[in-house]
Structure 1
Amino acid sequence: MKYLLFLSCLVISITNLYPASAHKVEVSGDVGGTLHIEPNDNPRAGEPSQAWFALTRRGGRVIPLSQCNCELAVYAQPYAAGEPPLLEPQLEPVSAERYKGIPGAEVVFPKPGIYELQLNGKPVSGARFKPFEFKFEVTVAGGSTQNSRNLRDVNGDLVEGESQKLPTWAIALPILGFIGILVVVLQNMRRSGE
């Protein structure tokens, strides 16, 4: 029975091909910042993505954009210190999940790769929190096949763009792992039964 439980846990961990999406969290002084990018924390190159930042003070009080002089800069990785940002999207108040009026911006990443989003903020008159700087690393995938849907083949006929499929190795690896584990478990069961 313990082998079966172990085998089940191992198979589940091996076959989990897609990592769970999670918001990225940073802390600076007395301010915490959470980054989320729509859709599903998986931005794609050449497509608009909505980035928003849930800013909270120690104790959980939300800092809306109206209380923060915030600026967003986007850098392609790697970049040298002092290099100008690739993008400087205009922040606007957005409402997302349970947050109202938090900083957000539409970002169009030009190509696949790793980017750094830097959010700097200072309190406006009357707001009480320390100035902060957050640096969030974001991985951007290739654009969708929507951009390649209306391609023409060599005969001039319309052809549909390449569909998104799992690579063969991504399917075969968990299956081979499962078979290998099953063989080991069965051998151990035979040995313990003798």
Structure 2
Amino acid sequence: MLRQSLLQGTSRHCHVTAKYVLSLLLFVNFISPHSTASAHQVKTTRDVGAILHIEPNDNPRAGERTKAWFALTRKGGKVIRLAECNCQLQVYAEPHASGEPPLLEPALQALTAERYQGVPGTEITFPRQGNYQLQLRGKPKTGASFKPFELKFNVTVAAGNEVSENVQGTQDVNQNFTQARTSGLPFWAIASFGLIIVGVFLAVVQQLNRE
């Protein structure tokens, strides 16, 4: 009896555990797409923080205009507007070396998005698929009370309408080859001329052998 009770208890425990694990997996699968699509990058310094928003859905594509803006706040949650900040945005293709000039330096504009008013934002066109780094630097204008800051955000750009240099190079080579053929003698004329030379050479050889 005791053994049977233990077996029944173990069976019920395993059944409950299996149901719990299955429910947990279903829950994770349900929330994962939503959490991935709505995830924003948060970076902070000692007294300044920012959330990077990239539209749409934080999923930029190469060759397409991408709207990016920064929910910039100081310690305590007060919004830092672009009018209060000498802000500069630089875009680097990853990996990049220290001191390397930025790939892009898009001008910042004051944008109003969601509950944030006048925050720095811009439009970026990433030229190719791959990894990039956005560096936002800022200094307070007169009357502002935050300290200078530098925030770095890593961005992955999906494939889009980028132009492949290899494809373009192949097209140029083919075009040059075609132009070379059309600018000179036709191929059939060159082949006929070669056959005539070979025929004359063979005739000369035969004549010499007879003599």
Fold agreement, TM-score > 0.5: yes
Which residue does 1:82 correspond to in 2?
99
Q: TM-score, normalised by structure 2?
A: 0.65
2:48 maps to 1:31: yes
Q: Which 5+ residue runs of structure 1 have no aligned equivalent?
A: 145-194
Which residue does 1:139 correspond to in 2?
156
Percent identity, aligned pairs only?
A: 60
2:2 maps to 1:2: no
Q: TM-score, normalised by structure 1?
A: 0.70
Which residue does 2:188 correspond to in 1?
none
Alignment root-mean-square deviation, CA = 1.6
Alignment-mate amino acid for residue 2 of structure 1: T
Which residue does 1:94 correspond to in 2?
111
The runs of at least 4 aligned residues of structure 1 exceeding 4 Å deviation read 14-17
The 3 A distance-change label for structure 1 pair 33 and 17 is: closer
SS at match of 2:54: strand
2:28 maps to 1:13: yes
More strand per residue: 1 or 2? Answer: 1
Higher radius of gyration, 1 or 2: 2
More helix per residue: 1 or 2? Answer: 2
Alignment-mate amino acid for residue 68 of structure 2: A
The structure with higher relative contact order (CA 8 Å, sep 6+) is: 1
Offset, 1:8: 2.5
Query: Size of the alignment, in residue pairs?
Result: 144
Which residue does 2:4 correspond to in 1?
none
2:60 maps to 1:43: yes
SS at match of 2:143: coil
2:146 maps to 1:129: yes
Offset, 1:17: 6.8
The 3 A distance-change label for structure 1 pair 130 and 141 is: same
Q: Which 5+ residue runs of structure 2 have no aligned equivalent?
A: 1-15, 162-211
1:82-119 deviation line (CA, Å, top 9, x unaligned):
11000000000001110000000100000111100000
Whether the 8 Å CA contact 2:37–2:58 is kept in 1: the answer is no
Offset, 1:22: 1.0
Offset, 1:29: 2.2
The 3 A distance-change label for structure 1 pair 57 and 17 is: closer
Which residue does 1:69 correspond to in 2?
86
* Residue in structure 2 matching 1:57, options 55, 74, 77: 74
Which residue does 1:118 correspond to in 2?
135
Offset, 1:13: 3.4
